Structure 1
Amino acid sequence: MRLEGTPCWADAMFTDVEGAKRFYGEVLGWTFGVSSSEYGDYTQCYADGRAVAAVVPPVPGQEGQSQWCLYFASRDATATAARIREAGGQVVMEPMRVGDFGTMCLARDPGGVVFGLWQGGAHEGFEAVAEPGAYCWAEVFTREPDKSDAFFPAVFGYRAKRMEDDGVDFRLFDLGEEPVLGRMAVTDDFPPEVPSYINVYFTVPDCDAAVARATELGGTLRFGPMSTPFGRYATLSDPQGADFSVIDTTRTEGEMPKITDVS
């Protein structure tokens, strides 16, 4: 079982699910399972035969901006939901059993960042991470960093570290000795209509090739490609408006930044 607070799954709602499948199939190399009508046509995505995400049509009446949702592992979703409320967050959807697969919950931090909880059953979450086509990393992009900095450690027991960089306000949240989540303060450089959200990174073997394919298929390049000590990455919006990043972790450049414990 994954440690409480570990990112363990990602999914997104798309009005045009078939269009999303074509796009991500081409950009990330995904294949797709049979949609489950019993669970709202939820369709799992696979990288090299292993489950890495899911796509689903919106519930009628709830159509809106497509957005990736990151889920955090929970041993007891009801207890975690209580901590979310205690820390000033909002439970958007109460813990709900999904057959024998597990229990899900949707929540929002005090700054408006939406995320999910997943209490695994038969389905524990990602079957692969940090491999081509699979989830690799995520960052909370927030206009109210102080709220997120207090909230996520209170709910999941993270230890916070600050990245020493004059250009950005960036923190890392660790579980034990492992960093599991980043937090980036949204500045005035971001358009005012961009909400606080969690940006999900998927691994690719070639960042530039993935960007080229994504833009050919109607995606929009938002940032990059840029080489960093962590890999070469870029941020994109898919044709239906969902933001995500791609990263080639084998292509690194520069020295690792200094990181200071602030817990």
Structure 2
Amino acid sequence: MTEAAGATRRTPGTPCWVSLMVHSLGSTEDFYTDLFGWEYAPGPAQLGPYVRALLDGHEVAGMGEMPPDRQLPVAWTTYLATDDADATAEAIRACGGTVAVGPLDAGAAGRVAICSDPAGAIFGIWQAEGHMGTRTSGGTGTPVWNELITQDTLTVGKFYETVFGHDCETADAPDLDHLTLHLEGRPVASVHGVGRALPRERGAHWMTFFEVADPDAAVRRVVELGGRVIDAPYDGPLGRLALVADPEGAVFTLVRQNPPAS
């Protein structure tokens, strides 16, 4: 589902990185190491206490620690690729979104900004330099899909289409409010409108899907490590999935993907 390993350029609008800001970086590192087998390397110094999570030496995600006086919600953030962070930030503002932080330089990593769409879902934009983002295309602990959970798809679908050039494909089901976002004919993300079922405590948000070999076993391990289960494992269109939260409350989806159709 992600772009192939070794890609030298991410198509603008493609999810290219996921990052998590927490209150206790050390204990969060331990949780994801046990669950996914991640190892860590230092991240850009401009971002404060920050590490890059590695699988087999390849970067898959980032994690940082909030200042002690910051009490912000803990959540995974999806970053979308751009060739020009400043121009994309202006387009976001012009289309009803908000740019909360940046664009700012992150050293050799490039230029980044934290934004939100018109429905309030937070996401990042990343103009990459030498650091190209998630570099593997599958395997346990790899982010393999990103989905926007929002109230309805009408307004935000047009927002992402205008800002990032996504082609929106509507689900062929009258009772399902769902869009698949395409770039260059390839699906890169999705938007799911859930109406009144949108969690009040979270609002509209981007969801990261991490690959695991056995979602049922991974759910049990999440609980043993101090996390919690929100939705028990079930079979869905992408494969077998479960919705869980880490010990600090960051919500993510575990998925064992269905094999490609022959």
TM-score (norm 1): 0.90
Alignment of 1:1-263 (within 5 A): 1-34=9-42, 39-250=47-258
Deviates more, 1:179-188 or 1:35-44: 35-44
Seq. identity, %: 32
TM-score, normalising length: structure 2: 0.90
Question: Offset of 1:13 from its aligned partner?
Answer: 0.5
Deviation at 1:120? Answer: 0.5
How far did 1:250 drift?
Answer: 4.5
Deviation at 1:155, TM superposition (A): 0.6
- Distance in 1 (alpha carbons) for counterparts of 2:74 and 2:194: 20
Gaps of 5+ in 1: 256-263
The answer to whether the Cα contact below 8 Å between 2:152 and 2:192 also exists between their aligned partners in 1 is: no
Query: Given the superposition, is the C-alpha separation of residues 191 and 108 from structure 1 closer, same or farther in structure 2, using an over 3 Å criterion?
Result: closer
Amino acid at match of 1:57: E
The amino acid that maps onto 1:32 is Y
Instruction: Tell me the distance in 2 between the aligned counterparts of 1:114 and 1:157.
Output: 19
Q: CA RMSD in A?
A: 1.8
Gaps of 5+ in 2: 1-8
Instruction: Figure out how many residues of one structure are paired with residues of the other and give that number.
Output: 253
Post-superposition CA distance 1:36-57 (Å, at most 9, x none): 6553011110112211001100
Choose 231-240 or 219-228, whichever is displaced more: 219-228
Determine the C-alpha separation between the residues in 2 that align with 1:20 and 1:13.
10
Q: Which runs of 4+ in 1 moved over 4 A?
A: 35-38
SS in 1 for 2:220: helix
Q: Which amino acid in the other structure matches residue 226 of structure 1?
A: Y
Quickly say closer, same or farther: Cα 1:103–1:36, change in 2 above 3 A: closer
Query: C-alpha separation between the residues in 2 aligned to 1:166 and 1:144?
Result: 14
